[in-house]
A and B are shown apart, each in its own frame.
Chain A
Amino acid sequence: MSIGFDVMGKEIKVRIKFFSGIDKELGLLNYNPAEGVEIKLPGRKRLRSVLVGFGLKKVSRFAIFRNGERISAWAKLNDNDEVSCLKVSGGG
């Protein structure tokens, strides 16, 4: 699945993967969790604005990881980043 944003300036590509049923809540059709959603952005944007653009609310309640590292929704995205967005779970 690929989504294009209006592009101005140097374009970057980011892949966002939604888990924990978030894809269903966002109404993403034919969503494949292995591929996620590839988006093109006009330069380095903050993740939060991208997630809000998808329709997510209260972004801070999600667990967000970039390349195995937990990041804040305020982090700036880089070209070729792969971001995973999940609901928090526990151990057991």
Chain B
Amino acid sequence: MQEIIGTSNRCLEIDLTKQKFEVFEISKKDRNMFLGGKGMGLKFLYDRMRAGVDPLGEENMIAFCMGALMGTGAPCSGRFDAVTKSPQTGIMTAASCGGPFGMALKTSGWDAIIVKGRASKPVYLYIDSKGVKFENAKSLWGKDTQKTQEVLEKIGSGAVVIGPAGENLVRYANICSGHRFLGRGGMGAVMGSKNLKAIVAKGKEFKIVPKKQKRFDRVKNKFNRYINSNSITSGSYRNFGTNANVNLSNAAGILPVRNFTGGSHGEAHKISGETMAEKHDTKYSTCRPCTILCGHKGNFDGNYRQVPEYETTGLMGSNLEIFDPVAISEWNDICTEVGMDTISAGGTLAWVMEATEKGLINSNLKFGSKEGVSQMLKDIGHGRGLGKELGLGSKALSKKYGGEDFAIHVKGLEMAAYDPRGAIGHGLSYAVANRGACHLSTTLFTLEAYFNMASPNAKRGKPTMVKFMENIFAAVNSLHICQFTAFAVFLEPPLIKFTPVPMLKLLTQNLTPIALSLMDVSLWPEIWYSIVGKTYIPLLSMRKFMKIGERVHVLERYMNTREGISKKDDTLPDRLLYEGRKCDPKEKVVPIDRMLGKYYKIRGYDKNGIPKDRTLKRLGIVKK
């Protein structure tokens, strides 16, 4: 087998309209500035796509980008990114996935592909080291994501596919690879609009080898040691999956309940990771390669299913006041098959239940009742009846029927399963996150509500923390490695591990920039340098890595501002700004305005939230 040392830097630009492809190389400069994954995807689209294109039109593009770590055997590195303009929000969306397509594409010799145009009839793409074949997808069109993959796995070692939701342009349709997803922002609808059912890669044609193998092995061992000694990555997640968060969020008062009107519920333990493990005989079913093992399968009334992730459990369980793991796992399966995002689907159902209760819309959906949910999810996916309208999401529905105050989204993207009234820094994070109400841009609620390293109700220091975490995760998603490695990277270095939590909290809260500068995130850049063969210089390399994260984040913001995003969009739903909750006697809300100005200032944005020229020049996004 031939070897690729480090990265191949070879990419494909595929035109569906002309059914042609071109090969191009990633320049050394772009690789150093944007790494790969999310960063590279954004750079590709920034260079090639004008602002204002219709997300479901021919001009929109979708880029699938691997990171430098993919295929090397680095821990938790089996992830790839996709970037496109979202039909749900009208701005950029980037998502990460742990399915087998990434490994298949990279070992076919490609670091990225860009798809543009629109096929005149349904097609799928077959990719090997020689290039692309455009194949007729007539027999696949209409098939669900799992059946489509069953057909394609006979001809390639990994695929990305869409289900009926993507074909029917559900605005939150996702893209599926294995049992993992490019989940948020409606990327499945972008593929559907291009008549692109799937992309399958042959894979296993090249072996990926780090340039500095010995150094790589040493860093990898240290990485694995950290992951295996961290109580989250080797404990909670390995034992209970991401649903380990259910009881914790419930105790902290940040679990979404009844369309974000409550922060905790007495029955939450019934849908917790502990209950899933005990009553549903869970086993590992994860991304590959993975050291953390958070993905699980379980036995739900005789059906062996993927255990719903925490976000699904929160949005389709407690947020609908339903505490039945079997029902939630069934709904999770339906969403998997039709190919749509469970967070947005759950958020939209919650809005419909409340709107029905208030007489704004006619439906048979009620909080606390399972009746009609399965059918409605299928109807959304297949674009039938009321389901067709629900496929537009809660923002569009509330604009048409009223009830905008309880449509829980930011910039059109439904909110993830952490109520920011119990972690106000995370409220700022939701408001300014580039793709909408995304929890993954910072996961600041962990520091505030779980780790007790920052006061959940204090404004002080939060803008700085949001900026720091955004930069880190933008870099991590460009590297690309699982974000969950952050718990091991942040918490295991001796300086943090052996400092008492109250002291860390004091520092983080009162001397935020100094506290954050003490964070040792060197493992990420160190493993990257060992793969691409650069000389690692402590501190300097780490700072460079952080600057790449800043560049990627600001580029995405800049692209969004070209689409019309500004301060008016960096806000939260009225419910979170003005309504207290039943679980909270102090009726706390998120004081967003008091944090936003400071955030813009330290980000180098103007008062309207637009990146300043000097910020763009400093980061090399525009020429000096």
Contacts and interface: CB of A to CB of B under 8 A. Distances in A.
Interface of A: 17, 19-21, 33-34, 60-61, 63, 65, 67-70, 72, 84, 86-92
B232 to A, nearest CB: 5
Interface in B221-244: 231-233, 235-237, 239-240, 242, 244
B456 A92 contact: no
A70 B449 contact: yes
B135 interface: no
A91 B236 CA distance: 11
Contact of A87 (B235, B252, B446, B487): B235
A22 B169 CA distance: 46
Nearest to A74: B502
Nearest to A60: B501
Given A20-B236, A89-B237, A90-B484, 19 more contacts: A19-B247, A19-B274, A20-B244, A20-B247, A33-B247, A33-B269, A65-B251, A67-B585, A68-B583, A84-B247, A86-B247, A86-B248, A87-B231, A89-B240, A89-B450, A91-B245, A92-B242, A92-B309, A92-B311
Contacts of A89: 232, 236-237, 240, 244-245, 248, 450
Interface residues of B, number: 51
Nearest to A84: B251
B398 interface: no
Contacts of A69: 253
Judged by DSSP, the binding face of B is helix
Contact of A63 (B239, B248, B266, B500): B248
A20 to B, nearest CB: 7
B216 interface: no
A92 B274 CA distance: 16
A19 B242 CA distance: 14
Contacts, number: 106
Interface centre among A60, A68, A84 (most CB of B within 10 A): A68
B584 interface: yes
Contacts of B501: 60
A49 B169 CA distance: 58
Contacts of B231: 61, 87-88
B236 to A, nearest CB: 4
B272 interface: yes
A12 to B, nearest CB: 20
A84 B252 CA distance: 9
B310 interface: yes
Contact of A90 (B267, B309, B446): B446
Given A19-B272, A84-B251, A90 B450 contact: yes
Contacts of A61: 231
A19 B255 CA distance: 16
Interface in B253-281: 253, 263-264, 266-267, 269, 272, 274-275
Contacts of A86: 247-248, 251
Contacts of B483: 92
A73 B248 CA distance: 16
Given A68-B422, A72-B502, A88 B232 contact: yes
A92 B236 CA distance: 12
Nearest to A32: B269
B245 to A, nearest CB: 5
Contact of A21 (B242, B264, B274, B294): B274
Contacts of A88: 231-232, 236, 248, 450-451
Nearest to B418: A91
Nearest to A87: B236
